């Protein structure tokens, strides 16, 4: 069965309440479980908590709020949701996390301050997204430091999720259902949404065949199904794939952190470079339009085929076009600056 057809079935099952689709043959289960146990013993997990990067970025571009005495518009509001990769597990400085890198890059492109809130949780699966969305849309009435205040939803949200769904064997239809539910809530609140789809787990060094082949296959099927589900809601996706292609294949020691599973600081910077253009495009800040650029091997395809193609080529954006069609984009990457957040009033 083709990846596009499988992804359509998963997305349809998620939309209409179908059960989980088995992606692994019964005969392979014993061997796969043995490989999984070996990989768990080999891949390190003692990383501690990721650094907290919440705060105001690009404060030189203007005041914290718009109004009398504060020139220019108020800050853009950026939120990060998802799992340990979204949280930035594996680095030691807040400015090295993907959320901080995106906030710095967005501030530089928009020439406006960016207020960042990161509610991602290490170890989270897609069923935790409902809680994370609640923190953003319903908090900060309780002073927990997560939300933006009553009636102040994020301007753009970035979600990175899916790896734990695969490793913990969450049924893919259930995984996509939780993701689309979260995206729907954010879109109804007026947020632009960018989803970094499930990464290619076949790139992890301690994982051997046949688990490597199987992990790659299942990861890409889930990534394609995630794309079909969220593009229909007006979100954009960016394929994380093998965490952005040849860089990781050529320099795995530099791109992966000490546990050989999570990205290093350089790996997160590479991921942020690919996500930033799509975040800016969602806010109409990127100089490239949402039109087809044949010179960059872009295409207009049915959504399922676009999702399948993106899953196999990391760094590819998929956005809705007309009717059942989607635009496959390969935007130019830009190096994002590292910047420490401005202190909050309480910290000052």
Give the side-chain half-sphere CA count within 13 A for 189.
Answer: 23
Q: Which of 175, 239, 262, 308 is catalytic?
A: 262
Of 127, 259, 290, 299, the active-site residue reads 259
Active site residue 84: yes
289 catalytic, yes or no?
Answer: no
* Peptide linkage before 346 cis (omega within 30 of 0): no
Contact 97, 85 (CB under 8 A): no
259 assigned to active site = yes
Provide the token pair at 257.
């952190």
Q: Of these residues, 54, 84, 126, 330, which one is catalytic?
A: 84
Residue 202's Cα: distance from chain center in Å? 18
Distance CA 6, CA 96 (A): 36
Contacts of 146 (CB under 8 A, 6+ apart): 117, 119, 135, 136, 139, 140
Place of tokens 């949780």: 121
Sequence-distant (6+) residues with CB within 8 A of 321 are: 300, 327
Beta bridge partners of 78: 116, 156
Phi, psi at residue 73, to the nearest 5°?
-70, 165
13 touches 21 (CB < 8 A): yes
Distances (CA, A) of 229 to 52, 223, 327: 30, 10, 15
Active-site positions?
84, 259, 262
């Amino acid at each position: 069965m083709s990846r596009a057809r499988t992804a359509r079935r998963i997305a349809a099952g998620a939309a209409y309440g179908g059960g989980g689709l088995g992606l692994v043959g019964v005969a392979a289960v014993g061997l796969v479980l043995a490989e999984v146990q070996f990989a768990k013993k080999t891949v390190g997990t003692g990383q501690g908590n990721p650094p907290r990067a919440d705060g105001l970025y690009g404060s030189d571009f203007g005041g914290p709020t718009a109004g009398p005495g504060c020139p220019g518009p108020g800050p853009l509001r950026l939120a990060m949701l998802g799992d340990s990769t979204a949280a930035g597990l594996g680095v030691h400085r807040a400015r090295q996390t993907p959320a901080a890198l995106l906030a710095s890059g967005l501030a530089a492109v928009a020439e406006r301050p960016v207020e960042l809130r990161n509610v991602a949780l290490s170890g989270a699966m897609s069923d935790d997204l409902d809680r994370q969305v609640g923190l953003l849309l319903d908090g900060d009435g309780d002073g927990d430091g997560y939300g933006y205040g009553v009636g102040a939803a994020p301007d753009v949200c970035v979600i990175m999720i899916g790896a734990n769904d695969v490793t913990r064997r969450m049924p893919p239809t259930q995984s996509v259902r939780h993701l689309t539910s979260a995206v729907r809530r954010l879109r109804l609140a007026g947020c632009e949404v960018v989803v970094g789809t499930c990464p290619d787990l076949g790139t992890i060094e301690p994982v051997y065949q046949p688990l490597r082949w199987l992990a790659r296959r299942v990861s890409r099927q889930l990534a394609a199904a995630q794309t079909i589900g969220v593009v229909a809601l007006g979100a954009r996706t960016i394929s994380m794939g093998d965490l952005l292609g040849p860089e990781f294949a050529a320099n795995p020691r530099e791109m992966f952190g000490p546990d050989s599973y999570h990205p290093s600081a350089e790996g997160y910077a590479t991921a942020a470079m690919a996500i930033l253009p799509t975040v800016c495009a969602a806010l109409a800040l990127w100089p490239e339009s949402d039109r087809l650029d044949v010179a960059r091997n872009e295409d207009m395809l049915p959504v399922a085929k676009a999702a399948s193609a993106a899953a196999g080529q990391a760094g590819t954006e998929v956005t809705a076009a007309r009717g059942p069609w989607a635009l496959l984009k390969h935007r130019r990457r830009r190096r994002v600056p590292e910047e420490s957040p401005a202190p909050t009033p309480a910290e000052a």
